[in-house]
Amino acid sequence: MNLARSLYSLAVRSAQPLLARKVRRRGLAEPGYLAAVGERFGRYEQPLAAGGPGALWIHAVSLGETRAAATLLQALRTLEPGLRVLLTHGTATGRAEGERLLRPGDAQAWLPWDTPEAVEAFLAHFQPCAGVLMETEVWPNLVDACARRGVPLALANARLSEKSLRGAQRLSPLSRPAYGGLAAVWAQTEDDARRLRDAGAVVSGVLGNLKFDAAPDETLLARGKAWRGPRPVLMFASSREGEEALLLQALATSPAAVAGHSTTVTPRWLIVPRHPQRFDEVTGLLRAAGWSVSRRSAWPAQGPDAEALAADCWLGDSLGEMALYFGMADAALLGGSFAPMGGQNLIEAAACGCPVLMGPHTFNFAEAAELAEAAGAALRLADLPQALCAAWGLLADDPRREAMARAGQGFAQAHQGAARSSAEAILALRQTAQRTGRPA
């Protein structure tokens, strides 16, 4: 073990009591964090018959990565129907979403914190044939342990922003061996591939973005369109910390607010926070500003009731229903793009035919944002006041809004194919490991 990884391991070991307290605090808002806490320390009690040995291990840290993993897993099972998988996660929302993907013979667990002891215990217990990390999850001790055990570990749907590359380069004695120790890296874009190579990875190919292959849930989409009501709906999709306050400020101080309220019909807001633990916080913020708020979780099965239809704002406080929300919306502001947080995935909105208005900060999804804008599926604005002006304009211009909806669906369909290519590459990697005598 080199000095950098020794110091890193010491720091992770020392931080474990703090991390455990953080999990307990998160568990107060999201009880899923309190499940199987021992697994985060490498203590696994489920029997080996569940998911291993020899299962394909896929790590999807959070909700977005798990949804991408679902698309990949569908393609893998098409090619190999009897495939057994081990799914690991880092967040409660990811684990809840991943549970829906399990079949008999599969297993699910937390990936442990990255100490040498915990990752060794994880690998010894489950004995996977190969591992697939989704998008960005590269951990130094995990990569080293897999290499020493002969478990090929790949990074799929891989992306790396310029900001993350700079961070990796500052810690190059630690990060370069980790990126370089991966058995395969399949990048989303050529720019991601360049940055990954600069970080030390050997890039095996550029296969595209799995999220283009995720078809919207047509039942939820149709239900959302049926539930719209008589008023136009503006959505704030996957809003992040501080952005709801920016919206309230912009509506209170910008000429766009006057423009919006001078139209014949006042639009209704649909706000869907990115993180479930913020649902109560955002509800309180909106009500403190004088808005009446109706939460999706309080609606009857048939949709918004009279009280909901009278509210100023709907709060999307459910999981797995983004297609429903995009179906409701006439246009969507892209969360994470109006504060410097890198934006969120806009592909699902485009596939659902919902025009997107994004701010200046989309560095986590740079190419998808640029392609969507070039295709006419999205508009980029300098700030929230400008985005509001553009939103009012779209609400008053049915032909333009419909053209953006069609462009979004065409954009999403034009970039499909990554799931099949990635699945083939993963199965080939596993087969190569088996031929060379590694313990797969």
Residues with catalytic function: 65
Mapped to the 3 state alphabet, what secondary structure does the chain carry? CCHHHHHHHHHHHHHHHHHHHHHHHHHHHCHHHHCCHHHHHCCCCCCCCCCCCCCEEEECCCHHHHHHHHHHHHHHHHHCCCCCEEEEECCHHHHHHHHCCCCCCCEEEECCCCCHHHHHHHHHHHCCCEEEEECCCCCHHHHHHHHHHCCCEEEEEECCCHHHHHHHHHCHHHHHHHHHCCCEEEECCHHHHHHHHHHCCCCCEECCCHHHHCCCCHHHHHHHHHCCCCCCEEEEEEECCCHHHHHHHHHHHCHHHHHHHCCCCCCEEEEEECCHHHHHHHHHHHHHCCCCEEEHHHCCCCCCCHHHHCCCEEECCCCCCHHHHHHHCCEEEECCCCCCCCCCCCHHHHHCCCCEEECCCCHHHHHHHHHHHHHCCEEECCCHHHHHHHHHHHHCCHHHHHHHHHHHHHHHHHCCCHHHHHHHHHHHHHHHHHHCCCCC
Check: CB of residue 268 under 8 Å from CB of residue 231: yes
Number of neighbouring beta carbons within 10 Å of residue 52:
22
Among all chains, which residue has been given the structure tokens 């679902």? 70
What count of Cα atoms within 13 Å lies in the side-chain half-sphere of residue 296? 21
Question: Strand pairing partners for 86?
Answer: 57, 107
Q: Which string of b and e fits 270-295 if b means at least 16 CB within 10 Å?
A: bbbbbbbebbeebbebbeebebebbb
